[in-house]
Amino acid sequence: MAEQTFIMIKPDGVQRGLVAEVIARFEKKGFTLRGLKLQNVEQAFAEKHYEDLSSKPFFHGLVHYIISGPVVAMVWEGKSVVTTGRTIIGATNPAQSAPGTIRGDYAIDIGRNVIHGSDSVESAQKEIALWFPEGTVQWKSSLHPWINEQ
């Protein structure tokens, strides 16, 4: 099985109509979409998602922000998708994100940085299990051999 990552378009990205743009960037790179859902996030769920940040001073603001509107949760699959996905997303602080990255192109403030992406394979597995307990769709694109060497 290829590597998977969890990507979430945060409330600001959804409100600003950036969902299709984010999806297009991952598709154009050649990654395979395995799961997708639009949902409102309950506070307890947000706290569970960000539990590793619970000791940080910005934790409560982050939780409040994530529950402020709908998010789009996704699972993407492909070779080195976690590392490459983080590159596509850009630095957490948009001011340090290169042009051409999602945050570099669409974000100004760190607290409204459009998107979340898993920072490791282990985090991805944990986040996917939390957000997609029902599992994901398994399929193979007919483009696969044109994108990936066998």
Any known ligand binding at 140?
A: no
Distance CA 34, CA 125 (A): 13
Any known ligand binding at 86?
A: yes
Any known ligand binding at 113?
A: yes
How many residues are recorded in the chain?
A: 150
Among 115, 118, 124, residue whose Cα is nearest residue 89: 115
User: What letters, b where the CB count within 10 A reaches 16 and e where it falls short, cover 25-55?
Assistant: bbeeebbbbbbbeeeebeeebbbebbeeeee
Catalytic residue among 49, 60, 64, 116: 116
Any known ligand binding at 10?
A: yes
Any known ligand binding at 126?
A: no
Any known ligand binding at 16?
A: no
Look up 116 and say whether it is catalytic. yes
List of E strands, the chain: 4-9, 32-39, 71-77, 115-117
Distance CA 26, CA 23 (A): 5
Provide the annotated active-site residues: 116
User: Can you say which residues are annotated as belonging to the binding site?
Assistant: 10, 58, 86, 92, 103, 113
User: Can you say which residues are annotated as belonging to the binding site for ATP?
Assistant: 10, 58, 86, 92, 103, 113
